[in-house]
Chain A
């Protein structure tokens, strides 16, 4: 195994290191809390000559992704980063980038969306853009953040995929938390991730007219291609992880990561850093002899519907923890999980726990409460389908 240097860095800094090790050729940057530190570290690397990249300080998030698309269309490896309001401001460009099949990698620091204003974490920003055609991965710690930036380029640039990847880090809880991160040498990363050879790009020898308009007889086919590419990403994600493991000795389980699910009667589904807290709760409940398990969804697109159904097929009750809500219905992760369960004819009682909005803490006791609710549902007792956990006041419900 390659020798790797141990750094003590935040999630943001791990991302910056990943961008550097990927030999990213063009980086576009616009500041927004809590993403800023990633861009500050990249700026320092450029200023100190540690990173040779075209580093662009642009005037908005819309421009950040617009410039990234221009650079990617010319065939360069391109990165940008954003969060929350910024992600929404560039929403038009998200659809555009995936439609253009440009393998841009973007970090998103998951943060609540105004109003009310909040700089703190939840996942309403990226989950509201699930339909924008980007591969979405949610990481749990700084090491995974570093590793997934490098893997994201390998996935996005695969000829069968050519689809942009959004690497999501929970704002503050991950972006600003310092952890040890093992960083392989540049040569080792080069061996894993060769330079990007764009199969479709603006080329002086073979000029293209790009991002054209289509008439109704020729439009759906391009959308079908995008869907196909997203489906093709499933095996590519697995292959890239295998290769990454062979090079660097780390793996994350692919699209999902099941924890103590094999004999579990009650399973909680999570996305992002809250998984750490949930794992602790599961361990404690297991010590008390309770058959509980945890399923972390890593990729929300392509959605691991078969993997989710397989992991949950023996559960007698399933809970989904959403750090978001689609008002008037339920959490988006819950909707996706339910669709996977029904589609695969796995239909245990399922409850949705809305928690951690706008940076509200989710403690081990909150997770235990969710498992209590699942125990009741498992026993056939009436339960609220969608429940806000840890509201600070009484309500009329």
Chain B
């Protein structure tokens, strides 16, 4: 697993359902970040040289390494656009959401 799964968190009904003190399981993710985004990155993967700069530069860790390409995890991309400027081949551009 490259990133933690998104899980349900059942709202506690009894005080015993809470953890003992403000300490909880590492990497427990309940919310996605997709709703933050106004634009999303689109990568022209056919010409991707797999340099991994966009993968490294993403503050969200929302770009996944694949065999010979990269892929944006649109559930967690916040649409910052950093990756656009990291691509040495200029293969990433932003597209408005809803288009």
Chain A interface residues (CB < 8 Å from chain B): 99-101, 162, 199-200, 206-214, 218, 221-222, 224-225, 228
Contact = CB atoms under 8 A, between A and B. Distances in A.
B20 A211 contact: no
A228 B15 contact: yes
B25 interface: yes
Interface of B: 12, 15, 18-28
Contacts of A199: 20
Contacts, number: 52
B57 to A, nearest CB: 25
Given A206-B25, A208-B24, A221-B15, 17 more contacts: A100-B21, A101-B21, A162-B21, A200-B19, A200-B20, A200-B21, A207-B25, A207-B27, A208-B23, A209-B23, A209-B28, A210-B23, A211-B22, A211-B23, A214-B22, A222-B21, A224-B15
Contacts of B25: 206-209
7 contacts: A207-B25, A208-B26, A209-B26, A210-B23, A211-B23, A221-B15, A225-B20
A26 to B, nearest CB: 19
Contacts of A225: 15, 18, 20-21
Nearest to A159: B20
Contacts of A208: 23-26
B29 to A, nearest CB: 11
A222 B22 contact: yes
Contacts of A221: 12, 15, 18
Nearest to B22: A212
Most chain A Cβ neighbours within 10 Å, of B12, B20, B21, B28: B21
Contacts of A212: 22-24
> 6 closest A-B pairs (Cβ-Cβ)?
A101-B21, A207-B26, A210-B23, A212-B22, A208-B23, A209-B26
A91 B84 CA distance: 48
